[in-house]
Structure 1
Amino acid sequence: MARPGKRDRSSAPEAAPLSTDRRGGVWPILGAAGLYGLLHPYRGIDGDARLYIGRALADLDPAGIGRDLMFVHDGQSRFSLFPLLLRGLVEAFGPAQAALAVGLAGLVAWFCAAAALAAGLAGRGRWVVLAAMAALPASYGFPGVFRVGEALATPRTLAEAAVLASLGACATGRDRLAGLLALLGCLVHPIMGLAGIAVLALVLAARDRRWLIALVALPLAALAAAALGLPLFDRLLQGLDPEFSAILRLRCADLFPSFWPGAAWGPIMVQGASILIAATLAPSRGRPILYAALGAGLTGVAASALFGDRWPALLVVQLQPWRFLWLTAVVGAAAFGLCAAGLWGRSADRLTLGLLALGWLFADDLVIAAGAGATALALHTALRRTRIDPTPRVILVTGALIGVLAASRLAFELSALSWLLSHRDEGAELRLGVVRNFSLVLTLALVGGLVWTRAAGHRGARIVLGAGLGLALVVLWDERTMTARAIEARTALPGLAATVAHRPGAVLWLDGEAQAWLLLARANWSSNLQGAGIVFSPVLARTWAERMDRLIAAGLAAPNDRAPFHPAGPRRPDTPPAAAVAILCAAPDAPAWIVVPLRERQDLPGNAGIFPLAAPVVTARTTPAGVSWHRTVAYGLLPCRG
């Protein structure tokens, strides 16, 4: 690379931004909305939606589901308005329709808020920014745990929408509206909303240094409230007792950054590089938001590492400030869109863009993501300061190397996807929710976006592509299986539900999640799902851990049910040991029934009935040897208490 000396870069022709804007602005927004919908399919009452639907059902049935340990010792629901809204919807329409309505409302609200933020950050290139926010994998924290903008009945998506709308208002100078929207996000989901408050505070401090007083005063006020022993704030000076800490570090390792693998840090690196580069391209009004989103995320991780991991304070562990990274992830995706719109003109700038794209493609590989992101940032800085001027040959060779690495990744993923398709069990479905985890989807999204943009000026092409996109959404967006739909509608396994109704009490549904709540209207005796909320209740944590330990020792559960973030281990025996069942059923706190998933031709001695499924349920399981398929064709019922 030759150094040109002090050439005046301002005299060079300005790079022409890549733009998808058309006079008819409906076409690009329809494409972005369709892309967002396809990459955020509806999974039904799944993920954390199970917890919130379960909470609503428990409030409506305090003598049944309400006796579940998770709801008796609930330490988080009272801090949000969302459970009140969801309870009314579940009471009026039932869990299935309520979950669908909230999931769809959250999806629409999130997309509209993202469009407002894209317009505030980019102006003319907003469609590129919005498409990047829709397509890029905005996950954060421990890999595979949290994603943004999910079509689920949770308060997270709605709170995220409020915060994104808040930042969009801030970018256009409407600070009061921005503050109100951020507060609304806090009322819906305090943890997600606090990220928006943190970013707004940093933006205001950048504009007016007098706001720094508030930034310093608020932590001091919190410490004063803790010293006075005020409720909630007193947890700031409380540590974690050893037993509670040990339980959390096994079941909720995602709370502690020291347990995060490299795949958790790679996205932060490439998101940060994208934000820093985009800040040099963005309009002045959007620049503070970019910096603040990165600063808030990194500060949150540092706070969790110091006061949640190294020197734990109960309130910090429960607030989980590392989750501020959700906003870093979303703004990082928007930043890549800004880079795509602003770095398309000059060949050297396209090299920077290629390095960034490589980092996103290998975001789960810390070495490549960090290397590509850092190199892109260094190259962009050097180009802006006119310290280097790559020759066409250097650009060609480097671009070819980036292409080879990208092609190798895509080839590997095609091979892995082909293997999954050829080795999947009969009845296993690989839908969009699985396929979107492959980086190959980003390439397909890029090609689809280019085709969509080219079709803007051709009426016939618009009709064909629009109809195709609409049909794809209708066919593919709802990923629920027939059995999942029946469970949500409480029409599956009627014989099982009728038999269980003859005896009151909790149900131990082996390998179960929310089936006991949805299908049987009973409390879970114990399940891995109950461990999701233990950070907010030490009592729940101890009771849940004690029961899980008993099940694992008896061969009725697997160690990974107690420690899901640790390496996969052996599963429990398919047939519960008769001696273990007898010991559990003799305990004073024994469940009333045990439900056992059954394979084909599997027998269940001493059962109260076997209830076949209308269609097998096939699930993928991670084992030390790789991926295996588990096929459930029926459920057996064991009576436990006389």
Structure 2
Amino acid sequence: MSAPRRFDAALIVAGATLWMAAHPYAGIYQDANLYLLMALNWLAPEAYARDPWFLFGSQDSYTLFSPLYGGLIDLAGIADGARVLVAMGGFLWLAASWFAAKRLFSEPLPRSVAFLCCAVFSLNISPAGSTFVLNESFATARVLAIPLAIAALVFDVRQRPFVPWLLAACSVVLHPLFGIWAVFCLVATRLSERWLAAAVIAGLLLPLLTLLHPAASALQALSPERLTFLQETTRDLLVLGNDWRQLNSLLFWLAALLIGGGWGAEGFRRTYRVLALLAGAGYLLSALVSNYLPMTILVQAQPWRAVWLAAYFSVFALIDVAWRTGRADAEGWYRVALIAAILILCRPFAGVLLMAAWVAFSAAPRLINRLSSSAGLLRVLAIIATLFALPGFIADVRLEGEALTHLGWTVEHTLRGIVGGGGFGVGPVLLSCLLLALLSRPLLAFPMLLASLAWVAGHWDTRDLAASRWEGAFQAGRLAAFSGFHRGQTVYWPGRAQDVWFGVGTAAYVGEYHLSGLVFSEQRVLLVGQRWKRAAVASVTEAAPLSMAEEVRVLAEFRRRHPERHYGRDHPGDYVTKALTPAGVVYLCADPALDWVLAHWPEVSGQSGLPVDKRVSGGSNLYAYSCTDFRSRYAESSL
């Protein structure tokens, strides 16, 4: 095997090792619950038809992800299917990053650094910085769609011109709201500057259509009440400008692309600029509709998601420009070290600083030469800035390392943060240099790399025993949960909607995850709100049935017990509860939409509960109560 091939093989092994180390598998959580639910619904739509998530339509109607994921679950089971999907996503991410690095860099060191940075980094792209992360490690459509979009943007069109469009189309059918930006980028890179500017301006003017009040509801403006509700109850849907840290990150990514567009690889400069333009325009468009002209279809489409383009490719732009700057002259690497140290020192406003630097250097190109005219001064400044930045750098990488302690690493936090957390790219740089140094000794390098890969792979699944058993028990209706139950009936299990979906295998009456995606259906908001209010009453009441006046009184008692909640806009989440009284079982059953209630009491109101299979209940004693029996009993007593 030739030296370049040995290096590529070693780099691939190192990338896989770092990806698993930095992205341990934690099981089915966050959005993975919803994507799993939609896949199960595709397998058995009659079982989940009455669930609030599907009563008014759902997002998976526009994608092919659910059939693909459903087929995988049917073949491998719920727990293993989710884990395999995440592993597939990691493979695609590494493959796309590999092709991107190969496309942009012909030399091994920058290519290695770029690839390993992509393997390690996870970048939060949400407006409020709390939900959407590039390179995530739980089962969603995003883990497949985004790598395919990346591959579409870096594929060499001179080989097979149709392949980028095919990859972009596959990304769109898996996740339209992320994949569509790859299509826009492919189109934009083929437009002239004049047509591209016109297209961006037309896109930014789209919200003005709301002023015309067309017949199509999707083009109309949201009502003020609906907009206020979304502003107060959603964190990562609208761009409200109340999180400076995320705006600083966006400016940093955009500035990095713009700098790459001016001083990066010549063959990719225009692509850098197009990526920056699309990401910036998408974010600005979201800001406009979030605060001034809330056009329904744009609020739902969330154009700010274009930011993922800037977040990902900014890594390549920075490495591209740093490599060219470092090799430009004898003082090049001192220049790079000085800039990196300043950005670390000024991290809270590094984005503004980098954007200002781009504006200054674009307006006055000779400024770069003037700043570096004195080689001695430049070197002294670089050394002093690096020494000042070192304490903050060490503190940050220690925090990164602490986040990886659950992997079982025994080395010190700082080293773990540099290697497994990336350390602002220092880890990939050091590992790349080590790989190049060991290239002449393959008999030493490959056993070390393969042993590291095997160890990390053995520790990749970080679920504790309880979580592993809980997910392993998911049968989604393949077990008869209790006597008399039929799939398709609606079940309320307080605080355990996921167990209803994935264990019992049927529609849940209401659960916390029903609060997701409220922007897509106002009807679902109303229904979920009503059911959470009933659940809140059921968690407090000591008598049933209740008159309307008594319901109001008990609901006020619930509010009194939870003064930390606001209740100002009647947000459904204000009434979330995991409690249930015996009388609450009877009260809930007055709703004809509910078929069964699960509780831990063997008897309620003189009626014995039906034992729930302990494989479904997680080994605890759980009893099912038929709402039909309670409703018929009280109907007879009222005659």
| CA distance in 2: counterparts of 1:163 and 1:260, whole angstroms | 30
The Cα offsets for residues 242-288 of structure 1, whole Å up to 9 and x where unpaired, read as 44334433442311111551221222122123222333443222111
Give matches, 1:426-441, under 5 Å.
440=423
Match of 2:570 in 1: none
Q: Give the direction of change, closer, same or farther, for the CA distance of 1:83–1:72 in structure 2 (3 Å limit).
A: same
Unaligned segments of structure 2, at least 5 residues: 407-412, 541-557, 568-572, 631-639
Residue 275 (1) aligns with residue 257 (2): yes
Match of 2:21 in 1: 38
Aligned partner of 2:451 among 420, 443, 468 = 468
Match of 2:105 in 1: 122
The Cα offsets for residues 190-238 of structure 1, whole Å up to 9 and x where unpaired, read as 11122112222221124x75677777889999999999979xxx34422
Aligned partner of 1:132 among 93, 117, 129 = 117
| CA distance in 2: counterparts of 1:284 and 1:350, whole angstroms | 21
Q: Give the direction of change, closer, same or farther, for the CA distance of 1:201–1:266 in structure 2 (3 Å limit).
A: same
Q: Is the 8 A contact 1:592 1:639 kept in 2?
A: yes
The Cα offsets for residues 536-586 of structure 1, whole Å up to 9 and x where unpaired, read as 2221122123333444576689899999xxxxx999888655665664454
The Cα offsets for residues 129-172 of structure 1, whole Å up to 9 and x where unpaired, read as 22222223322023131112334432222221222111112576
Aligned partner of 2:336 among 339, 343, 353 = 353
| CA distance in 1: counterparts of 2:533 and 2:420, whole angstroms | 33
Match of 1:253 in 2: 235
Aligned partner of 2:220 among 238, 253, 259 = 238
The Cα offsets for residues 446-465 of structure 1, whole Å up to 9 and x where unpaired, read as 44444333322222431332
Match of 1:185 in 2: 171
| CA distance in 2: counterparts of 1:105 and 1:510, whole angstroms | 34
Match of 1:166 in 2: 152
Match of 1:7 in 2: none
TM-score computed with the length of structure 2 as normaliser: 0.76
Match of 2:634 in 1: none
Match of 2:129 in 1: 143
Q: Give the direction of change, closer, same or farther, for the CA distance of 1:356–1:396 in structure 2 (3 Å limit).
A: closer
Q: Is the 8 A contact 1:271 1:329 kept in 2?
A: yes
Match of 1:411 in 2: 395
Residue 593 (1) aligns with residue 597 (2): yes
Residue 71 (1) aligns with residue 54 (2): yes
| CA distance in 2: counterparts of 1:286 and 1:590, whole angstroms | 58
Aligned partner of 1:202 among 188, 193, 196 = 188
Give matches, 1:16-27, under 5 Å.
24-27=7-10
Q: Is the 8 A contact 2:210 2:293 kept in 1?
A: no
Amino acid at match of 2:114: V
Amino acid at match of 1:515: D
Report the secondary structure of 1:25's partner residue: helix
Kindly state the Cα deviation for residue 74 of structure 1 after the two structures are TM-superposed. Answer: 2.6
Higher RCO, 1 vs 2 (CA within 8 Å, ≥6 residues apart): 1
Q: Is the 8 A contact 1:585 1:591 kept in 2?
A: yes
| CA distance in 1: counterparts of 2:518 and 2:577, whole angstroms | 27
| CA distance in 2: counterparts of 1:393 and 1:524, whole angstroms | 68
Kindly state the Cα deviation for residue 354 of structure 1 after the two structures are TM-superposed. Answer: 3.9
Match of 1:336 in 2: 318
The Cα offsets for residues 164-183 of structure 1, whole Å up to 9 and x where unpaired, read as 11111257686543233223
Amino acid at match of 2:111: R
Kindly state the Cα deviation for residue 326 of structure 1 after the two structures are TM-superposed. Answer: 0.9
| CA distance in 2: counterparts of 1:408 and 1:256, whole angstroms | 32
Q: Is the 8 A contact 1:278 1:338 kept in 2?
A: yes
The Cα offsets for residues 70-110 of structure 1, whole Å up to 9 and x where unpaired, read as 02223321211222222333333332333233322222222
| CA distance in 2: counterparts of 1:555 and 1:81, whole angstroms | 40
| CA distance in 2: counterparts of 1:239 and 1:53, whole angstroms | 33
Match of 2:503 in 1: 519
| CA distance in 2: counterparts of 1:466 and 1:562, whole angstroms | 54
Q: Give the direction of change, closer, same or farther, for the CA distance of 1:77–1:455 in structure 2 (3 Å limit).
A: same
Match of 1:157 in 2: 143
| CA distance in 2: counterparts of 1:595 and 1:440, whole angstroms | 49
The Cα offsets for residues 289-317 of structure 1, whole Å up to 9 and x where unpaired, read as 11111111110011111124421011001
Identity of aligned residues (%): 21
Amino acid at match of 1:108: F
Match of 2:441 in 1: 458
Q: How many residues are paired up?
A: 582
TM-score computed with the length of structure 1 as normaliser: 0.76
Amino acid at match of 2:319: G
Q: Give the direction of change, closer, same or farther, for the CA distance of 1:638–1:372 in structure 2 (3 Å limit).
A: farther
Q: Give the direction of change, closer, same or farther, for the CA distance of 1:266–1:610 in structure 2 (3 Å limit).
A: farther
Q: Give the direction of change, closer, same or farther, for the CA distance of 1:137–1:89 in structure 2 (3 Å limit).
A: closer
Residue 52 (1) aligns with residue 35 (2): yes
Rg larger for: 2
| CA distance in 1: counterparts of 2:524 and 2:512, whole angstroms | 12
Amino acid at match of 1:197: V
Aligned partner of 2:286 among 297, 301, 304 = 304
Q: Give the direction of change, closer, same or farther, for the CA distance of 1:303–1:92 in structure 2 (3 Å limit).
A: same
Give matches, 1:85-124, under 5 Å.
85-124=68-107
Residue range with higher mean Cα deviation, 285-294 or 388-397: 388-397
Residue 263 (1) aligns with residue 267 (2): no
